[in-house]
Amino acid sequence: MHFKFHFGLTPVIAVFSVVLASCEGHSLRNNLPDESRTADYTTSDDTAKASEKHLSRDHNKKLNSGKSANKQLKAAPKNRTFFNKNTPPGTSTPCLHTGNGRDYPVGPEQKHASLSEIPWSSLKPGDTVRIFWRETPYREKILISTRGTEQQPIRICGVAGADGERPTISGDKATTRPRLGNLDNYFSNDHDNFQGLGLIILSGNYDEKPANIIIEGLHLQHARKEYSFTNTRGEKKNYGGGAACIRLQAADNVVIRDNEIDHCGNGIFTMSQGYNDASLTRNILIEKNHLHNNGQSGSDRQHNLYIQAIGATYQYNRFGSNTPGSTGTNLKDRSAGTIIRYNWFEGGSRTIDLVEVEDSASWFVEKAYLDSLEGSAPDSGRLADVRRTEALYRKTYVYGNQILNIGSQGGSNVVHYGYDNDPELARKGVLYFYNNTLVLRHDRDEQWRARVFDVSLYNERKGTPGEEIIEVFNNIIYLESETPQAEPSYLCLGRESGTINLGVNWITDSWNSAETFSECYPYDTKPVFNGAKNLVNTSGAAVPADIRTLAPNNIPTIRNHRQPLSPAVSSSHPVKYQYVHHQAGEPRPSLNNLGAVALP
């Protein structure tokens, strides 16, 4: 078995919501005394709801659908889909054992005292590992190598403390249980310090990968090269430079929800390689997480998120600044089917980096697949799958996000779209960027330019322009100086290439001045701007949003100015929700104003 490690890869993510069972609990008021606790249950389609009172402290109460209060649940249709894009936001999933498998409670006064007692290599569909909060961190590494099912996923979840504290798992001085995982798995043998690539690692073997896994409610930290651990052979080692709090070597249908993830090389890293389908990552949902202080000081190769997958969705996450001295990105994505919606972003050398696939192009791009055959006939099923994936790869959706970009906290580039190494594999598609709120606070003497979109030439020497198109509408893009009375940076909507189609937007009016254009685009080639006449006239307008919370201000240039969503997004990616500070969401009551949040 052969694995190629490339720490410059950007893994890809997909966003969906999971249904654990037909009657999964959606909220738990666990800040109340035991006798007052209530668990609310609902079917995934909201046709029936019920409550079960007096939940015991072990959080292991199951819904009795035979009770009169719950009788509707018997007749309510079951949702057989593991991922459900339309599940309402803001729900909290209590760490209950709801599957048909075994329950593994870990922690103080529980059946299992430590994570090493859990049979990680033999977890089965419907199993739940419930990790209870304790005052000291757990210092044990985890490998997940088995598969759940869509109806019965394997779930690893944290049971919060009395004040809502998530259980902490630290990679610093962590131990690894001997023979953890399949005997033919790289993790077991620690080949090339594979164990040093993550705190929680999902990895199978050459023929099979983990699938249908949920990781939620945990505080994960300290998997970075300055931290050490003990491997399965009892050897003390340091983590690798690309280590992650959660690393997916290859996996399908993974949900990472409601975790705090910090002080790792990469917060979350997913790999997709081109050997076979078992080396690909498909369908990832990353939601409601707080990612901060990841990355490596002095390096631009590690990021809060680094994702390459077929199907990646990011929603209701709070992205904070990377670790001091890091020049990494907040969200770096090399995926097909990328959806980035309803998040809060702050910091990073770039906020969002959407670039080309690496190491598995023959599964993403038809030409790369046909070239790999060297004249042999393609497999019809594989070819159809590649064509479906390429269609996803060529369209990216970024909407409903709140982006606070402050000069002293990171770089001055917001969105990079296209490629960073191989222009042959560039996105060459359409980025739909709508209903976002951007507040950029930059001083010109610190950052000469603040750049919103960056599309590179395909050939710098020949001046070959990039083919990427960015559709920009219903956004607020506001620039001011970070320091009062200082001169703000020049507001550059583009860089040197690409086509930027402007619909109705609120954009600080200096972007279009002759002085700004001469400073922003001093190159032989320039981006193409269409639709400037559609922009709201912001000359002399009041500030459109709170510069700290990004809440919209009720001013005429924001109110009742939005344009209807185009058919390209209205049916598949409508704006239904909005981000709530922090790591939550709610239905958006109105779409009548510009930006990511409805006016009150």
Rg (CA), the chain: 24
Three-state secondary structure readout of 182-235? CCCCHHHHCHHHHHHHEEEEECCCCCCCCEEEEEECCEEEEECCCCEEECCCCC
pLDDT of residue 93: 77
The candidate with the shortest Cα–Cα distance to 50, out of 67, 30, 34, 35, is 67
Per the CB < 8 A criterion, the answer to whether 559 and 548 are in contact is no
Beta bridge partners of 454: 416
Round to whole Å and give the CA distance between 300 and 8.
9
Confidence bin at 170 (pLDDT 50/70/90): very high
Q: Which helix H or strand E contains 73, and what residues bound it?
A: helix 72-75
Mean model confidence pLDDT for the chain: 85
CA angle at 55 for the pair 53 and 58, rounded to the nearest 5°: 175
Confidence bin at 430 (pLDDT 50/70/90): very high
Identify the residue with better confidence: 180 or 287: 287
Confidence bin at 187 (pLDDT 50/70/90): low
Round to whole Å and give the CA distance between 283 and 363.
14
pLDDT of residue 435: 98
Identify the residue with better confidence: 179 or 474: 474
pLDDT of residue 346: 96
Neighbours of 107 (CB within 10 A): 19
pLDDT of residue 461: 85
What pLDDT digit, counting tens, does each position of 50-80 carry?
A: 333 223 333 333 333 333 333 333 333 333 3
Q: What is the DSSP letter of 138?
A: B
The candidate with the shortest Cα–Cα distance to 252, out of 269, 277, 234, 276, is 277
What pLDDT digit, counting tens, does each position of 558-581 carry?
A: 999 999 999 999 999 999 999 999
Predicted model pTM:
0.86
Q: Going by C-beta distance under 8 Å and a sequence separation of 6 or more, which residues neighbour residue 227?
A: 171, 172, 173, 238, 239
What pLDDT digit, counting tens, does each position of 199-253 carry?
A: 999 999 889 999 999 999 999 999 999 999 999 888 999 999 899 999 999 999 9
* Sheet architecture: strand order including 266-270: 142-144, 198-202, 244-248, 266-270, 305-307, 331-333, 348-354, 410-417, 449-454, 490-492
CATH of domain 82-359: 2.160.20
Percent of the chain past pLDDT 70, that is, above it, reads 82
Cα pseudo-dihedral 406, 407, 409, 410, rounded to 10:
110
What pLDDT digit, counting tens, does each position of 536-566 carry?
A: 999 999 999 999 999 999 999 999 999 999 9
pLDDT of residue 12: 33
What pLDDT digit, counting tens, does each position of 318-334 carry?
A: 999 999 999 999 999 99
Confidence bin at 192 (pLDDT 50/70/90): low
HSE of 547 in the Cβ direction (CA atoms, 13 Å)? 13
Q: Which amino acid, residue 173? A: K
Confidence bin at 193 (pLDDT 50/70/90): confident
What pLDDT digit, counting tens, does each position of 99-124 carry?
A: 999 999 999 999 999 999 999 999 99
The candidate with the shortest Cα–Cα distance to 464, out of 428, 516, 508, 509, is 428
State phi, psi for 377 to the nearest 5 degrees. -70, 140
pLDDT at position 483 over 50: yes
Per the CB < 8 A criterion, the answer to whether 451 and 412 are in contact is yes
pLDDT at position 28 over 70: no
Domain boundaries, the chain: 25-75, 82-359, 402-587
Confidence bin at 191 (pLDDT 50/70/90): low
pLDDT of residue 190: 59
Reduce the DSSP state of residue 305 to 3 states and report it: strand
pLDDT at position 335 over 60: yes
pLDDT of residue 73: 33
Cα pseudo-dihedral 94, 97, 99, 104, rounded to 10:
130
286-307: average pLDDT: 96
Round to whole Å and give the CA distance between 92 and 296.
32
Confidence bin at 87 (pLDDT 50/70/90): low
